[in-house]
């Protein structure tokens, strides 16, 4: 099929105001062979359904539906809910097609429901091996699916792309898209363009080389593969765009071992402009993070821009051919991905109609880019930023603060935003009537400490080239209070033309939900405060709130069945912040936990949730700390490298995974070793670390956790004890 012809005809229909509902024009889809290019290109006119990840190829997450609006939202109530069979982070955007709702959950499972009644239709479990969790930087999450023809497509944590029959949930085909001997994972949603399923992957905390690839929707045959960074060595046989990139890397070091694959993973955002026929991908951070190890210069510090890290790259979707790029953070070293939500819109800037691309990447600046050429238009900070003082409008390059660039030695730097960014994967939304972009933003700085003797380990644990244990917050009440106070979460209504916030809503803490904007003048968002809220899109006034019993991080969708408007959101706390940030600091902001559940609302909905279970916590009752300071220090270093990213820094306990200070196995060296060395809990996600940690090191980690537990027990009872 000729994509441009279809795109043109859909645009014509739209402009004629005829495309009120795709299913009226193109048939219901079911009998005709399902989702087509014309339906995807014209998705904006099909308000009944939600057929692609960001609702439209422009990824605006704006629905014109207006039955639920400023005046009626007070009558919004729970229509139905469905409990999920996983208790980890839920980040998915559901799809809704002809009265059926489809979603992915943690552990890459898929479920289908009657979208009006909640009746379960089918479910599919790809049986991801539990120990795959150790390859995932940021929880065992999945952010969604794509639809094409009569199939649904999604990626699994262990790197498979699976096509399911949409009616039955039966597997149509399955393809391994990554080298499974390496720490590649898939958590992002695929997109489909003209029968090609596009999917990337993650793993840049572990050493992988990033790429995005296209597969034939009919049979899973790989059609093209686009690497985001060069392979290392002599680039003479590489495609031209990678030869150009090679000039910005130390090619002797890149790819020299599995820990220095370069990174640049395409783990989340994509957008598509059918008129320009350009696919936009968001490219991630370097691997390892620390450029001094990833691309060292002559003096031992890092050198080079390291293309195409932290870039937005425009690709021809039919061939995978490079068209243009814009790099947000040249020579990135702070985990400043540009994988955050990419959104397309047309707007008047300086008296000219511009086709723009917008992004609020981790680095804290909101960018407006010309999406035809990749030329910089403007950028301003949407949160507190100290790594750069601004973006040079002539070159589009940041004006860096040299104090914040940490190499192999020297002073640590407290950098804001930190590795979690000023905005992470949580989708933004756009209101065309307000011309506002709503950003789920937050502030959480990070201490980047040099690691002079960093050694790669590709078997287990992060490979970032910094000392990850250096930022642990000690058991000191005043200090902990102060750090907790610096953590902020907010909903920012950003004017992309003026490049400033029009209004801001403060939340209890960081890591709030993705967004939906509607024609009813509303913005919907879940919060770390376990609420699901509706705000006035023009003013930010809170108009409605639902007690969700759990943190909500996923973005809502809206749709109609028989003309009645529904709003659905997958609730369930988790993800990078929930796992990798000190759980005591998180809980000081809001006592959040995971109850994984799909919540669906409509006007006059009368369903109620079961009573909220009590927030039970095991007692903090560790054995006495008897190990030597040397053993505890060894345990602290190994904990920081191998344990902290899932069980929280300082062994304080995450808000999702077990608090090790309260673990029963803390009492017994044998029981502890059975888990950490023997892999007894591997099916739950706790892999064996025998390949990376000796029995002595594992026992040292136990000694460290016992020491920390005793410090915190003393803190709880108001005393302070010095570590022996």
- Closer to Ca ion by CB, 273 or 335: give it: 335
**CA dihedral (688, 691, 695, 698) positive or negative:** negative
- Closer to Ca ion by CB, 6 or 334: give it: 334
* Structure-block tokens of residue 380: 């301003």
CA distance 659 to 654: 6
With contacts defined by CB under 5 A, name the span among 75-83, 332-340, 438-446, 660-668 that binds Ca ion: 332-340
- Closer to Ca ion by CB, 207 or 551: give it: 207
Instruction: Decide if residue 335 touches Ca ion (CB under 5 A).
Output: yes
Q: Applying CB under 5 A, what is the total number of residues that bind Ca ion?
A: 2
Residue whose C-alpha is closest to residue 709's, from 654, 648, 662: 662
- Closer to Ca ion by CB, 250 or 285: give it: 285
- Binding to Ca ion by CB under 5 A, coded x per residue (else -) over 268-307, reads -----------------x----------------------
- Give the single-character DSSP code of 674: H
CA-based angle 95:98:102, to the nearest 5? 30
**CA dihedral (171, 174, 180, 184) positive or negative:** negative
Smallest distance, Ca ion to C-beta of residue 333, A = 12
- Closer to Ca ion by CB, 211 or 546: give it: 211
Q: Cβ(574)–Cβ(139) under 8 Å?
A: yes
Helix (H) or strand (E) segment spanning residue 446: strand 446-448
With contacts defined by CB under 5 A, name the span among 50-58, 77-85, 330-338, 426-434 that binds Ca ion: 330-338
Smallest distance, Ca ion to C-beta of residue 707, A = 30
Helix (H) or strand (E) segment spanning residue 101: strand 100-104
Alpha helices (H) along 590-686: 629-642, 644-647, 669-676
* Structure-block tokens of residue 275: 């008129």
CA distance 549 to 298: 55
Site residues for Ca ion, window 598-627 (CB under 5 A)?
A: none
At 121, is the secondary structure helix, strand, or coil?
strand
What phi and psi values does residue 199 have, to the nearest 5 degrees? -145, 140
- Give the single-character DSSP code of 288: S
- CA 506 to chain centroid: 21
Tell me, letter by letter, the H, E, C secondary structure of 208-268: CECEEEEEECCCCCEEEEEECCCCCCCCCCCCHHHHHHHCCCCCCCCCCCCCCCEECCCCC
Smallest distance, Ca ion to C-beta of residue 336, A = 9
Smallest distance, Ca ion to C-beta of residue 283, A = 11
Q: Per this entry, what is the length of the chain?
A: 724
The dihedral formed by the CA atoms of 520, 522, 526 and 527, expressed in degrees to the nearest 10: -170
Instruction: Decide if residue 416 touches Ca ion (CB under 5 A).
Output: no
Tell me, letter by letter, the H, E, C secondary structure of 492-556: EEEECCCCEEEEEEEECCCCCCCEEEECCCEEEEECCCCEEEEEECCCCCEEEEEECCCCCCCCC
Q: Cβ(373)–Cβ(324) under 8 Å?
A: yes
- Closer to Ca ion by CB, 258 or 335: give it: 335
With contacts defined by CB under 5 A, name the span among 70-78, 113-121, 334-342, 674-682 that binds Ca ion: 334-342
What amino acid positions are annotated as catalytic residues?
335
CA distance 529 to 547: 9
* Structure-block tokens of residue 352: 């000219």
Q: Cβ(598)–Cβ(82) under 8 Å?
A: yes
- Closer to Ca ion by CB, 522 or 645: give it: 645
With contacts defined by CB under 5 A, name the span among 96-104, 215-223, 333-341, 511-519 that binds Ca ion: 333-341
Q: Cβ(571)–Cβ(526) under 8 Å?
A: yes
Smallest distance, Ca ion to C-beta of residue 205, A = 5
CA distance 548 to 78: 11
- Closer to Ca ion by CB, 50 or 211: give it: 211
Smallest distance, Ca ion to C-beta of residue 404, A = 17
With contacts defined by CB under 5 A, name the span among 335-343, 457-465, 530-538, 631-639 that binds Ca ion: 335-343
- Give the single-character DSSP code of 126: -
- Closer to Ca ion by CB, 475 or 576: give it: 576
Site residues for Ca ion, window 653-682 (CB under 5 A)?
A: none
Q: Could you give the maximum distance between any two Cα atoms of the chain, in Å?
A: 78
- Closer to Ca ion by CB, 335 or 697: give it: 335
- Closer to Ca ion by CB, 335 or 711: give it: 335
Smallest distance, Ca ion to C-beta of residue 285, A = 4
Smallest distance, Ca ion to C-beta of residue 360, A = 16
* Preceding amide of 417 cis, omega within 30: yes
Q: Cβ(675)–Cβ(665) under 8 Å?
A: yes
Instruction: Decide if residue 549 touches Ca ion (CB under 5 A).
Output: no
Chain contacts with Ca ion (rule: CB under 5 A): 285, 335
């Amino acid at each position: 099929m000729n994509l441009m012809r279809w795109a043109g005809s859909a645009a014509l229909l739209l402009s004629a105001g005829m495309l009120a509902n795709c299913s009226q024009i193109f048939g219901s889809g079911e009998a005709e062979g399902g989702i087509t290019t014309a339906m995807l290109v014209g998705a904006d006119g099909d308000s009944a359904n939600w057929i692609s990840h960001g609702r439209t190829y422009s990824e605006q997450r704006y629905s014109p539906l207006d039955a639920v609006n400023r005046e009626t939202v007070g009558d919004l109530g729970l229509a139905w809910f469905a409990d999920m069979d996983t208790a980890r982070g839920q980040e998915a955007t559901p799809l809704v097609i002809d009265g059926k709702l489809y979603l992915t959950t943690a552990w890459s499972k898929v479920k289908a429901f009657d979208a009006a009644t909640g009746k379960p239709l089918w479910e599919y479990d790809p049986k991801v091996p539990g120990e795959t969790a150790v390859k995932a930087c940021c929880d065992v999450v999945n952010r969604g699916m794509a639809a094409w023809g009569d199939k649904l497509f999604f990626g699994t944590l262990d790197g498979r792309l699976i096509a399911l029959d949409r009616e039955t949930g039966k597997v149509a085909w399955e393809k391994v898209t990554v080298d499974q001997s390496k720490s590649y994972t898939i958590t992002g949603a695929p997109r489909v363009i003209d029968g090609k399923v596009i999917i990337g992957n993650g793993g840049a905390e572990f050493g992988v080389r990033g790429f995005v690839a296209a597969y034939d929707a009919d049979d899973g045959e790989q059609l093209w593969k686009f690497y985001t960074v060069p392979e290392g060595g002599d680039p003479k046989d590489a495609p031209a765009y990678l030869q150009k990139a090679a000039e910005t890397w130390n090619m002797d070091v890149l790819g020299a071992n599995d820990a220095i694959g370069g990174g640049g993973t395409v783990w989340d955002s994509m957008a598509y402009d059918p008129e320009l026929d350009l696919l936009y991908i968001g490219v991630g951070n370097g691997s390892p993070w620390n450029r001094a190890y990833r691309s060292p210069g002559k003096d031992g510090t890092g050198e080079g821009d390291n293309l195409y890290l932290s870039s937005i790259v425009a690709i021809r979707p039919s061939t995978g051919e490079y068209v243009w790029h814009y790099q947000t953070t040249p020579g990135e070293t702070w985990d400043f991905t540009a994988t955050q939500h990419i959104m397309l819109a047309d707007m008047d800037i300086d008296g000219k109609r511009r086709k723009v691309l917008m992004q609020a990447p981790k680095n804290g600046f909101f960018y407006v880019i010309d999406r035809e050429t990749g030329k910089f238009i403007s950028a301003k900070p949407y949160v507190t930023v100290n790594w750069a003082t601004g973006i040079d409008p002539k070159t589009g390059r940041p004006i860096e603060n040299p104090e914040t660039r940490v190499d192999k030695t020297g002073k640590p730097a407290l950098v804001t935003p930190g590795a979690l960014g000023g905005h992470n994967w949580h989708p933004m939304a756009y209101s065309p009537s307000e011309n506002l972009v709503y950003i789920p933003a937050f502030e959480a700085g990070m201490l980047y400490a040099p690691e002079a003797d960093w050694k790669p380990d590709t078997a287990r644990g992060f490979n970032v080239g910094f000392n990850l244990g250096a930022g642990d917050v000690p058991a000191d009440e005043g200090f902990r209070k102060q750090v907790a106070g610096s953590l902020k979460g907010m909903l920012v209504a950003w004017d992309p033309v003026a490049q400033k916030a029009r209004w801001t809503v403060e939340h209890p803490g960081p890591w709030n939900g993705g967004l939906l904007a509607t024609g009813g003048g509303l913005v919907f968002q879940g919060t770390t405060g376990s609420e699901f809220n509706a705000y006035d899109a023009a003013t930010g006034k809170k108009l409605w709130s639902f007690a969700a019993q759990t943190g909500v991080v996923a973005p809502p969708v809206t749709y109609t069945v028989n003309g009645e408007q529904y709003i659905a959101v997958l609730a369930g706390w988790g993800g990078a912040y929930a796992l990798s940030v000190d759980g005591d600091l998180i809980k000081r902001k809001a006592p959040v936990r995971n109850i994984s559940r799909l919540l669906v609302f409509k006007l006059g909905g009368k369903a109620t949730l079961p009573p909220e279970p009590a927030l039970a916590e095991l007692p903090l009752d560790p054995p006495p700390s008897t190990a030597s300071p040397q053993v505890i220090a060894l345990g602290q270093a190994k904990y920081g490298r191998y344990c902290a990213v899932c069980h929280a820094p300082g062994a304080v306990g995450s808000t999702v995974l077990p608090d090790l200070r309260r673990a029963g196995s803390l009492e017994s060296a044998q029981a502890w070793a059975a888990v950490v060395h023997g892999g007894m809990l591997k099916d739950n996600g706790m892999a064996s670390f025998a390949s990376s940690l000796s029995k002595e090191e594992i026992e040292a980690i136990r000694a460290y956790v016992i020491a920390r537990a005793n410090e915190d027990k003393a803190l709880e009872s108001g005393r302070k004890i010095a570590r022996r």
